[in-house]
Chains A and B, each alone.
Chain A
Amino acid sequence: MPDSKIEIKVTTDVDQQDVHIDSMSIDAAKSFSIILDSLVRIVENTPGCENAKIKVIDGSAAAVIEAPTDTIQMLYQGFEDTRMHKCENREVVSSYSSFQKLFKANGLGYTADFYIDLERISILNTIKDSRQFRTKSQKTVSDTSIKFFQTQLIEVGGKYPNIHFLGENEEKITASCSQNDAIRAKEFLYTDIKLSVWKTEKEGKRAVYECCDIYRNAQAFEEISSFIESIEEKSDIDLLMDLHKEIKSRLLIGDAISLRRIARIMRIYSHDSTDLNKLKTILLVTKSFKEREEIAQHWQWLNKLYNKSYKKL
């Protein structure tokens, strides 16, 4: 007998009688087939388990996975991850979730054990008492990010307006822009320009750049770029709170310069790719200022984007 295995057994039937594989009630047979199917799916979807053997034990209704100890340990890790809601593998989670439904339903009796080097670890009560298993919630990472450049502008124009400037490694970057941006950019031709662009990278495709804003004021550029770069590294809730506090501190000053600075922050987020939560946070904090002419237009843009993504939910 190998030292390591997983064994899940239907022990007793609804009438408390022992279950035998050669003569099962419909309830017991259903449960047994779910157990066998789930074990197969766990093995199939855990990489590195190709050498595992699945077997049914004569007599009792037990389904078993036999494998070398390190393989069983790997499967045990998969169970632990599922229990902690950290497992990202849908198939594995849904298999354990099937066990959970069976064990929680009244009627049949079960045992569920890992044996690692002869040591028995029962997982029956752990599964029963846990909250419903589900996959780790994955943050959807946007393909688009904001980039700030202080660089040389080498060309402006085109039928579809665009600007050409040098990237970090002196490579030429072309960004699409509005006619207005093109006109504003023109005064910086062959000199230094400070700008922000949305960069969209899709797998297997060349990056696409769209002009976001052009800064004439060096201090505005410095403040906005360092603020945005600092918060974009934070986790979601902290990021939102910092975004709120930054805007609020300027609202409390309340003069035209402060509001125009807020408008430029709003402009950074006026893009289809912006996360709903950032839009909502900005809209809420500026709600009672939405009629102020410095930000009114930006507020409407962001509100439109917000409503668009809310409706998709």
Chain B
Amino acid sequence: MLSIENISQNLIKSDEDNSGEDFVAAAVLVTEGGEAVHAGILIKYNDEYSLFHFSPPLELEILPAGQWYFHKNFNFIKPEEIPSFLAHCKLIKEFANPQYGYYFAGSYFAEGQYFSEIPTPQYMTCVGFCLNVLNGFNLDEQYISFDEWNIGTVEQRYIDRIIERFRRDIPQISIDLLIENIRRITPTEYLASAYIDEIPVKKKKIDRILVNVSHAIYNKTNP
């Protein structure tokens, strides 16, 4: 298992990065209390750091200064293929229209459009958005085994809100199908996924290192 120290070594404060090489990374915004509260994808290309994230709105921007972003590189995206990843992001930025909600049905962005196993409006969280972008960049596998997460950890008021919104948009939608696909993957789980080399990333593997990843984030912000 990865120790806190191993995790810390590869967890970089984004505005202090000096790795020299281009990369695509899982990035999280951390509070002063050491908690990861928001997620994005950090892309370093030609000495420029771009953050692609869904706050909402959907932004592809220069890494904001003075904010506590930390990142861990994705090993499956090689520095040499970053131009195609960046083009993928810019196309999503141009064509996608996500809306916020704790919902994830194996949807992915390909061709800059939103594809889902069931036809739904583009509801997702900041993490769901990142996972969609990553899924859309893979040719065969999903990036993450999302169906291992379920409604269990989502607060009731969010569940109510998302069901209400879906009913408004698609009155004939099956509630059972909806409930099956309401899930929340946290920013810390998302960051932890970048430490796992085997794709699709399994929830079990994330669970094994999750506490240590949380500690590593906490230690970085409270030295």
Contacts and interface: CB of A to CB of B under 8 A. Distances in A.
A241 B87 contact: yes
Interface in A254-303: 276-278, 280-281, 283-285, 287-288, 303
Q: Which one of A248, A280, A303 has the greatest number of beta carbons of chain B within 10 Å?
A: A280
Contacts of A310: 78, 81
B110 A284 contact: yes
Nearest to B46: A137
Interface string B105-126: 0000011100100000000000
A240 interface: yes
Interface in B76-120: 78, 80-81, 83-84, 86-88, 90-91, 110-112, 115
B81 A277 contact: yes
B20 interface: yes
Contacts of A241: 87, 90-91
B80 A313 contact: yes
Contacts of A278: 84
B47 A85 contact: yes
Given A85-B47, A244-B111, A244-B112, A281 B20 contact: no
Nearest to A245: B91
Contacts of B115: 288
A interface secondary structure, majority? helix
Interface in A49-92: 85
Nearest to B88: A284
A298 B47 CA distance: 35
Chain B interface size, as a band, is 20 to 34
Contacts of B84: 240, 276-278, 280-281, 284
Interface string B55-88: 0000000000000000000000010110110111
Nearest to A290: B139
Given A288-B111, A313-B81, 19 more contacts: A131-B17, A241-B90, A241-B91, A244-B87, A245-B91, A248-B111, A251-B111, A276-B81, A277-B80, A277-B81, A278-B84, A281-B84, A281-B88, A284-B110, A284-B111, A284-B136, A284-B139, A285-B110, A287-B110
16 contacts: A131-B17, A131-B18, A137-B22, A237-B86, A237-B87, A240-B84, A240-B87, A248-B111, A248-B112, A280-B84, A281-B88, A283-B139, A284-B88, A287-B110, A306-B139, A313-B78
